Amino acid sequence: MTTLTAVPKTPVASVEELNARADVLLPLIAAGAAQRERERQLPYEAVAQIAKAGLFTTRIPTRFGGAAGSVRDVIGLLIRIASADSNVAQALRPGFGFIEGLLASGAEGAEGERERWFERYLQGAVVGNAGWEVGGANGSISARIVRDGEHYRATGSKYYSTGSLYADWVSAVALDENEQPVSFILPRDRKGLELLDDFDAMGQRLTASGTTHLHDVLVRSDEIRTRTVEEGKRTIVTPFLQLFLAAVQAGIARNALNDAVAFANDHARPIKHSSASRSVDDPYVELSVGDISARAFTAEAVVLRAAEAIDRAWAGDLDPQAVDQAAIAVAQAQYIAAESALKAAELVFDVGGASTTGRAHNLDRHWRNARTVANHNPRHWKAAAVGAWQLKGTPPPTSGLF
């Protein structure tokens, strides 16, 4: 029995306390979001503040000093973060996903790894990712890791390194001499680890999802992580990571609503032949804002319901059928959340005239961000997988996208 298991730690904060901290912090993050995106000012401080506030500890069990929150708790919190700044929210995805992986791991030595990493999270650590590569087949790995005495050396390049520029630790995967994937995690300042801010998507520009170069990087033996995902088997972590994207979409829809309300109140003026003297009294502005509000409400509702499906799978000891059902729930939530966010972001421009397109307001960021998040996974595949489940009971693919 380990020390932390034997002697429970006093939780740093409860779920309620963490949400209270978010109440204070998120308006400050939201206030600068449009300007940061417009001027490409990476939100280093915002990510650091979130980590310092302990928001990463929401799901960490109380025996390790965390809040022991549910998946619904953490997804609800992430929707709130995304409604302040969707770039910041998505940059946190590797860090929250890493925690879910630690919780789900049944590998030998997993409890010791949980102790080590949960303590780092409690101290404010941020974990980023150096994941997918470009230039080969989708999902292929060309990065290499080879033995070097007691340790290893890694070489290669990664793209879509979400959140790594903001991180203290960067996780990656490479192939060993036997062509087997090896996972490892490195401190951000390790010699030979080069992170670039070269992500050039039209939206989510500040997620730090650019290139990572591994220049013959030393990987210590204790930085190698045990891979527990079996080929052809679904892990509960995948539905969580997919629902994370849907939570970002729900936050974007909510952000679009907030901006629509603010613009109608503070900037818009009624069209010349309107019956209203104020834009907020114009029935078509009211209609537009009500439409946006309904879509934001819908996106949040389906995402939280899918989170409850993941919680049920956990409560059922991760029974494979319950995990499949959670994956189906998440696929449905993703489909609707993306559609809702895209439409909500489009309708923002119906609350005013040509002035809504002004670069100073940067209202187009909502659609660009929603469209970029939606393009992570083809949503038609999500709907088709749900249809196959409903029609024939066919489980969704185990490709890592369900």
User: Both tokens of residue 339?
Assistant: 């559609």
Domain boundary among 170, 194, 225: 225
76: CB partners within 8 A, 6+ apart? 304, 307
Domain boundary among 194, 225, 256: 225
pTM: 0.94
Domain boundary among 96, 125, 154: 125
Q: How many domains does the chain have?
A: 3
Residues 172 and 317 placed together within one structural domain of the fold? no
User: Both tokens of residue 313?
Assistant: 């799978």
The CATH number of whichever domain residue 242 belongs to comes to 1.20.140.10
Distance CA 114, CA 64 (A): 8
Q: Does residue 231 lie in a domain region? A: no
Residues 261 and 200 placed together within one structural domain of the fold? no
Amino acid 277: pLDDT: 62
- pLDDT level of residue 144 (50, 70, 90 thresholds): very high
Summarize the confidence of residues 80-99 as an average pLDDT: 98
Distance CA 349, CA 266 (A): 14
Q: What is the dihedral of CA 342, 345, 351, 356, to 10 degrees?
A: -130
Burial class (CB in 10 A: 0-12, 13-18, 19+), 146: middle
Residues 245 and 380 placed together within one structural domain of the fold? yes
Distance CA 284, CA 379 (A): 31
CB 249 within 8 A of CB 256: no
- The helices-and-strands tally (H runs, E runs) of the chain is 13, 8
| Share of residues in the chain with pLDDT > 90 (%) | 83
| Share of residues in the chain with pLDDT > 70 (%) | 95
Taking only the tens place, the pLDDT of each residue in 332-387 is 999 999 999 999 999 999 998 888 999 999 999 999 999 999 999 889 999 999 99
Strands 181-187 and 169-175 turn out to be: antiparallel
Residues 154 and 265 placed together within one structural domain of the fold? no
Q: Does residue 130 lie in a domain region? A: no
Residue with tokens 């993306």: 338
Range of the domain at 218: 144-225
